[in-house]
Structure 1
Amino acid sequence: MADKGESARSNLLGQFASLSGSLSKKALGALTRRVGGLTLDIGRTIILDRAQRRLLSDEQRAWMKRAGEAIQDARQTAGLSLDELANALDLEDKTVLQAMEQGSATVSFDLILRLTSLLARNDPIPFLIQLVRGFNPRLWALAEDWGVGRLPGMVERDRQWMNIYRGNEAARQLPQADFERVMAFCESALTMAVQFQQSAAASDAPDDNAPGRRRG
């Protein structure tokens, strides 16, 4: 059973990795609009100089900065120096890692996977998505073409909910029975709030059948 599970995971990983080898025309167009004029190889790690960084869009530079900060935070949380992480990743030196943490490199999908397995094995998906979004714009353009681009927003919403819970120490200390009652109340309150927001949005929507409204 374990062998089958491992085989399935390997197969899925292989399918996902194979996306990096084939970009659709639509994805390339999306890349041009979102990333800017710089052509970046999916399978290569490149340290960008200032001239190359200027060719990137402001949005892409911001995502690269966030991805670099995510690596630095995860590395420091793990208690690793740059040299130690470089050795663990089998890199020749720490220069590439320094560039990544500074948000001034593009990163191959293979290296992104290795970073994720080392630094975020307990919660890999948000970390992986953030690194692909920041460091591998071509693969991300393809991911958006496939509809994966909605994932960061969903992950961010989940993170916000978790932060609310983590920030309430009293809730975390409740006995299990009390905690379950609080959870039931929160679920009910959330359902009511969503229904209220949906009703408000529907009432604010323009009425195409209203008197005097022109119809095309």
Structure 2
Amino acid sequence: METTGGDAMTDKNSNDRSGLFGQVAGVTAGLSKSAVKSLGKRVGGLSLRIGKTIILTRDQLREFSPEQRSWMRRSGEAIRDARQVAGWTLDDLSDALDLEDKTLLKAIEQGTATVSFELILRLTSLLARHDPVPFLVSMIRGFNPQLWAVLEDWGLGHIPTMLERDRQWMNIYRRHEEARMLSENEFEKVLDFSRSAFEMALEFAKIEKDDWDED
């Protein structure tokens, strides 16, 4: 059977992609172990292998507070957003994480699972390697309540909220496909207008806060 140039290129891209996922999957376990060891030393030998990765039933989910369930859902959405930005499918990420199937990852993205710290580290190393700390703390807030209680004692409670605000801003941009089609000049004009509108909104918020404080 004759192979066309297009078919050959498709096969090459597929093989390259598979090779990349194989390499990434091979290093994430090592990253997790070194990160756990390093963090353990920084907190006086505390073991950070806290929590288990479990797909929760409806009855088990009801045992969590509404606030915790909300954070689980937000954290799952953040993982899905980061995966899609990277151009990965559920199968791709499952393979990179060396998971047996994508059912667990799907539950994590839906906010219906608890996640071990080791798996959180591996997710972070894949999806947020350029800015890992906020993503890591947000994942712990959503998926590992035991470890979150420790971090909250350290005064890190505000970080997940900041990350969630950043994600909401990014989603405004992602929802408008036409924004990606703008020329550099057009985009700069939209950006300048958005910046001015945001600064004006901040001024209104400050005025409202001052009026409220006076009352």
Q: Give your verdict on TM over 0.5.
A: yes
- Distance, in Å, in 2 between the alignment partners of 1:118 and 1:61 is 24
- Residue type of the partner of 2:153? D
Q: Which residue of 1 aligns with 2:113?
A: 105
Q: Which residue of 2 aligns with 1:169?
A: 178
Q: Give the structure-2-normalised TM-score.
A: 0.57
Q: State the Cα distance separating 1:134 from its structure 2 match.
A: 1.9
Q: Which residue of 2 aligns with 1:114?
A: 122
Corresponding position: 1:15 with 2:31: no
Q: Which residue of 2 aligns with 1:132?
A: 140
- Residue type of the partner of 1:15? L
- Residue type of the partner of 1:200? E
Corresponding residue to 2:70 among 49, 52, 62:
62
- Distance change >3 Å, CA 168–CA 18, structure 1 → 2: same
- The number of aligned residues is 178
Q: State the Cα distance separating 1:173 from its structure 2 match.
A: 1.4
- Distance, in Å, in 2 between the alignment partners of 1:20 and 1:55 is 32
Q: Is the partner of 1:147 in helix, strand or coil?
A: coil
Q: Which residue of 1 aligns with 2:153?
A: 145
- Distance, in Å, in 1 between the alignment partners of 2:66 and 2:45 is 26
**Percent of pairs with identical residues:** 56
Q: Which residue of 2 aligns with 1:44?
A: 52
Q: Which residue of 2 aligns with 1:210?
A: none
Please, which runs of 5 or more residues in structure 1 have no aligned partner? 1-9, 24-40, 208-216
Bigger radius of gyration: 1
Q: State the Cα distance separating 1:60 from its structure 2 match.
A: 1.9
Greater Cα shift, 153-162 or 68-77: 68-77
Q: Which residue of 2 aligns with 1:29?
A: none
Q: Deviations over 1:36-72 (max 9, x none)?
A: xxxxx82433454555444322322333344445556
CA contact (8 A) 1:116 1:128 kept: yes
